Structure 1
Amino acid sequence: MKNQELLRKEHEAIRNNVGFFDFTHETLEVTGKDAKDFLDYVCVNDVENMKKGDALYTTILKEDANTVDDVIVFYYGEDKYWITTALMKELSKWLKDHVGDKDVNFKDITANTALYAVQGPRSKDVLNDILEDSVDDLGYFQFKETKVDDIYVMASRTGFTGELGYELHFDPKYTDKIVDKLKEKGKSYDLEEITTDVIVSSLPTEKGYITSADFLGANPVELGLEWSVDCEKDFIGKQKLCVLKEEGPKRNLLGFKVGDKDAKIEKGNKVKLNGETIGEVTKYTYGYTVDEYIGYALVDSKANKGDKVVIVTSDGEVEVTLQERMFYDPKGERVRG
């Protein structure tokens, strides 16, 4: 019970006020005179037209259009990019296997880059109180280089919570100083330090965000990410993916809600429609804002939103209705607020 109370408290701190947490990812620095052309070719989104200070969400695909990784690309200007990932080993190998004789250099700078997130409706106020430069001018998916006291910080308007939020990238040797500053200035805003897994479970799932548990073995159109696919340019996986974008995918990652709090649904549980297996569950958690158990299922396109399907669990069958997987703020007004 106490753990559930803490989960709800921290979840609601992000939704209704502001919280901060260690969200360190692995970071790959990409440089060289061919860096822009190469990244534009391996990413489905438009890297070529990024401006200095832009961040870009994109997937990177295999030739069969299945996803290698989903990443954020940060453009520092000239020939310098950062890529944040949770799959450094796999991503680095794939990039190096495809770079050929292009003038592109890769450097894993994870050991020199910590990432702390400050998320929630009052996150801008907190950031403006600790940074040398205001973030009032930062648009969604933009970043700037600034300081906390004398410490270099890259501040980006990005996040994985579905709320207005920012992420601070800095040398990890300064972590204690950054955290102390956040706690000191955060007292005025009731800033909550987030210690539980709501940052990768309830918060992003309510918003429909995906992780490797959802995207491995699937393509961006199946995942509902066709908005990020630029079929006007060339990229690895284009031949198959852009046909799917035009004709429609064979599978879709949809959402479902469960009213039975005792249902023992797990990742990998089979999903059936009219007795036929059509897919499986990829995620299941409790959403403290929608106040229901929610999850995702990757299912054949013969299944549509509004269809009643059965999830086969170790404790029996659970009937659910398929729906859009964005359970919270479907228009994205909060993150752009």
Structure 2
Amino acid sequence: MYKNIFKYDDMKRSEHMAVRKTAGWYFWTHQLLEITGPDVTAFLEYMYPNKISSLAVGRDRYTTMLNEQGEIIDDVVIMRMSEDVYWVSTLFATKTDDWWYFHQGDYDVDWTEITDDWAMYAVQGPKSKEIVESLVKDSIADLKFFAHMDTEIGGIPCKINRGGFTGEKLGYEIYVSPDDGEALEQMLAPAVEKAGGKEVTEFQVMAWTLPTEANFYYMRDLAGTNPFEVGLASGIDWEKDFIGKEALLKVKEEGAAREMVGFEVPEADIYIRSKQYGGPGEPVFIDGEEEEVGRVSKLVYSYVKEVNIGYILAKKDKLHVGDKIKIHGYDAVITEKNWISS
């Protein structure tokens, strides 16, 4: 009999719930590209559909990156470090580097990957603010969401960025030199433990269970979709030119053919294939009907709700909250996608 790899894993559960109830810390450096030059803002405006020029120094912005067909090929966080210097945080620096190179044209910009120059530690959860505040030289009390600042921790120069991939209202990322990583951990670990939290060591907790509960996507969830299908079109700047604009305007005018919906499966021990493991994902059928209406994109376990949860990429308007469906013979129900909002 198949056993749920999440439900019965006490380590995953304890690390996940530490973030939700107190705080958790972990080491996970995303890949970083630093880009600068006289045309850097105009170049980024063309590369990404969300507005970049309005981003103030010291602030961040989440945006997708599209191909000419209007499909998402990456989602990134852009950080404005100074007037003409930006960091772009991605999981696909090599692909981004190639994409920028082939679309640079006459833009006067230069970039380099700086991933090896930085180590990033996340501190996430309700007590993360008091933990980080207890460590930093300069107060983070007024640091807004998606904003960053320079300071020190125990004499170690660092950058503090308020944000994260867990869905928590309070969460911070600490950037330090890799040479200072061990020294930072020696201060960070006991501070988190003192507050009742713990280190998060399970990658599936960092990348799957925590983000999915909060309706955050991993790039594999987005592959082959457009922003309208996955609810990421609200920040697009339609007044500018950007790669994929013409195709996306057509989707805007005609309507998206698909949509990402949430679902739950009450039965604990299930075997349902999802796109996160590779392949197309399990087909989805409306209860009592033979028409395939979608495919399972993500399936994890919600430790907050104690139920299997996930996303279905479905035909538009075929599935609605409350609908009963069958997935690989298991009873499921369509739900909202955020499982920690209430």
TM-score normalised according to structure 1 size: 0.92
List aligned pairs for 1:20-169, cutoff 5 A: 20-163=25-168, 164-169=170-175
**1:320 paired residue number:** 332
SS at match of 1:178: helix
Deviation for aligned residue 1:231: 1.8
Q: Aligned partner of 1:309: which letter?
A: I
1:132 partner SS: coil
Return the alpha-carbon distance in structure 2 between the equivalents of residues 243 and 147 of structure 1: 49
* Contact 1:68/1:91 (<8 A) preserved: no
Which amino acid is the alignment partner of residue 190 of structure 2? E
Whole-angstrom distance in 2 between the partners of 1:65 and 1:308: 32
Q: CA deviation at 1:213?
A: 1.5
3-state SS, counterpart of residue 138 of structure 1? coil
2:320 maps to 305
> Distance in 2 between the 1:16 and 1:305 partners?
31
Tell me, yes or no, if the aligned pair for 1:279 and 1:298 is still in contact at 8 Å: yes
Tell me the amino acid that sits aligned with residue 174 of structure 2: L
Tell me, what secondary structure is at the counterpart of 1:232?
A: coil
Look up the match of 2:293.
Answer: 278
- Give me the whole-angstrom Cα distance separating, in 1, the residues matched to 2:197 and 2:338: 27
State the SS of the aligned residue for 2:81: strand
The Cα of 1:137 is off from its aligned counterpart by 1.0
Asked if 1:204 is matched to 2:219, the reply is no
The DSSP-based 3-state class of the residue aligned with 2:56 is coil
* Equivalent-residue separation in structure 1 for 2:193 and 2:327 (angstroms): 45
Aligned counterpart for 1:188 among listed residues 187, 194, 206: 194
Q: 2:243 aligns with which of 236, 253, 258?
A: 236
CA distance in 2, matches of 1:322, 1:74: 36
Equivalent residues in 2 for 1:4-19 (5 A)?
Answer: 4-19=9-24
Are the equivalent residues in 2 in contact too, given 1:226–1:245 (CA < 8 A)?
no
Deviations 1:37-91 (A, max 9, x none): 1101111111111001110000010011101100000001221000111111211
**Conserved in 2, the CA contact under 8 Å of 1:32 and 1:105?**
yes
The answer (yes or no) to whether the contact 1:282–1:298 under 8 Å persists in 2 is yes
Which whole-Å CA distance do the structure 2 matches of 1:185 and 1:8 have between them? 21
2-structure distance, mates of 1:14, 1:22: 14
Paired residues of 2:64 and 2:74 also in contact (CA < 8 A): yes
Question: Please, which moves more after superposition, 240-249 or 258-267?
Answer: 240-249
How big is the shift at 1:228?
2.4
1:272 alignment partner AA: F
SS in 1 for 2:95: helix
Amino acid at match of 1:217: G
Letter in 2 for 1:249: A
SS at match of 1:228: coil
**CA 1:187–1:214: 2 relative to 1, 3 Å:** closer
For residues 114-158 of structure 1, the C-alpha deviation after alignment (integer angstroms, 9 at most, x for no partner) is: 111000001011111111111111111111111112222111111
Change (3 A) 1:3 1:275: closer
Normalization by structure 2: what TM-score?
Answer: 0.91
Residue pair 1:283, 1:297 contacting (<8 A) in 2 also: yes
Matched, 1:178 2:184: yes
Stretches of structure 1 that go unaligned for 5 or more consecutive residues are 331-337
Counterpart-to-counterpart distance in 1, 2:291 and 2:112: 48
Identity %: 36
Query: SS of 1:265's equivalent?
Result: coil
Runs of 5+ unmatched residues, structure 2: 275-280
Q: Distance in 2 between matches of 1:187 and 1:277?
A: 48
Aligned to 1:334: none
Q: Structure 1 stretch 228-237 or stretch 113-122: which is displaced more?
A: 228-237
Are 1:206 and 1:290, in contact at CA under 8 Å, matched by a contact in 2? Answer: no
d(CA) in 2 for partners of 1:310, 1:94: 40
Distance 1:294 1:187 in 2: 29
- What is the CA–CA distance in structure 2 between the aligned matches of 1:37 and 1:270, rounded to whole Å? 42
Question: Is contact 2:19–2:197 with CA below 8 Å preserved after alignment?
Answer: no
3-state DSSP of counterpart to 1:253 = strand
What's the RMSD between the two structures over aligned residues? 1.7
Q: Do the aligned residues in 2 keep the contact of 1:305 with 1:321 (CA within 8 Å)? A: no
**Stretch deviating more after TM superposition (63-72 or 242-251):** 242-251
